[in-house]
Amino acid sequence: MDRPRFRAFTLVELLVVILMITILVALLMPALGSARDMVMQTQCANNLNRLWQAIGVCRSERAADAKADFIVPQWTGTLLAYLENQSSIYICPAAEAVLQGGQGAGASGIDYSGFIGSGNPGVDRQILPEMAEFETVWPGPYVSAMEPGPWVLKFSEEQYQEALSLGYIVERKSILTYDCTYKPGANPHIYWLMYEDHGDDYDYEDCMIKVTEESNGSVHLLINCGTFGHTNNLISKTDGHILLHLPSGAKGMQWTFKATEDGGVTTTPWDGTLSSEGSSASWVGSAATNYGMNGSGLKTAAINAPPRLTYSPGRIAMLDYPIHVADSSDNWSHLSVDLDGNGVPDFARHGRGSEKKINVLFTDGSVQAMRPEEIDPLLPSTEKKYWLP
């Protein structure tokens, strides 16, 4: 009985099959890529809708509070509690890198300092220097800012602990032989201010203040004063009145400062606890996001107060963005946001090539995909139409 004979593929036939498969894949890839882009754009729009809903719930709960309006630079910390701590909603699925809100740089290490406009209020904002100053009454009087200067050193918590362990603090080893350049720690809103009384010992131990700034606007101070007869005060930056007297030799003083709507400052004893809303974990600097909230709104009556979210009809509330606060002074043509040099900002994430668009959440809760040139705030017509109240 003859066995059936099977005819093998010839090399030419095999090459033809491979070529046909290659052609089919090439034809299908754009369609598959477009479908994937559409899914990510839809998910991004859903994220923005969820954020808008969270803002609405937050405002409703605070409606009885005179300070209910939503403060823009604090949004990543404030909204987490209204999102059941689902921080994944802060991340656009189409973004190539997760950017750290509030730091001006992303996980990729890009420096956005040239992109961020001079009016942007949301990057590395320290609260205390806007409220108070340090007054040396004797010897003096002298007034120093609550930030680094000739008579003030600023250390992160990590720097302070290192200097303490090496004997540069308390043990009188000259601190000027230590590297006193400020290096931000894990939380840039926890830091030390080390004051020198304008004397000739330059020990910067005449008053040491540990500062903990919360996202709800509270600033907690742990104060240790020197023991050499110095007389110091913390005074209001607005009108110079004494907020807190710092007696010589006082150790472990704990106080909370908070700005008021009329530009004043309240001072209350601090028991060492942090509020759930204002904990260090909720600060904008520790919440990763690649969405930005419109920070171009009018400031409150308080001096140097941060802007509150605008609710004017037709205005931008949030959008795809490289930093957590978007401001009409930001430069969208800067190289840091156009790494491939194609003239389209990198945060236009949806679509392909020169047709890429930005998902934009408006104050009516709607989300639209728009071309960058349609909403670029440096164009006077679009700034007035979409960004300003």
pLDDT band of 100, cuts 50, 70, 90: very low
DSSP notation for 16-71: HHHHHHHHHHHHHHHHHHHHHHHHHHHHHHHHHHHHHHHHHHHHHHTTTSTT-SPB
What is the pLDDT at residue 7?
A: 63
Residue 257 phi/psi, 5-degree rounding, is: -110, 145
Cβ neighbours, 10 Å, residue 229: 10
What is the pLDDT at residue 300?
A: 47
Per-residue buried b or exposed e for 141-170, using 16+ beta carbons within 10 Å of the residue's own CB = eeebebbbeebbbbbbbebbebbeeeebbe
Amino acid identity of 262? D
pLDDT digit string, tens, across residues 238-248: 888 999 999 88
Kind and range of the H or E run holding 316: strand 316-320
Query: pTM (2 decimals)?
Result: 0.59
Alpha-carbon torsion (261, 263, 268, 271), positive or negative: positive
d(CA 297, CA 280): 26
- Of 33, 120, 163, nearest to 295 by C-alpha is 120
Paired sense of beta strands 291-294 and 325-326, if any: parallel
- Report how far apart the first and last C-alpha atoms of the chain are (Å, whole number): 92
What is the pLDDT at residue 283?
A: 41
Cβ neighbours, 10 Å, residue 272: 9
Cβ neighbours, 10 Å, residue 340: 7
Distances (CA, A) of 348 to 132, 312, 344: 41, 24, 7
Integer-rounded Cα radius of gyration of the chain: 27
Highest mean pLDDT among 57-71, 87-101, 204-218: 204-218
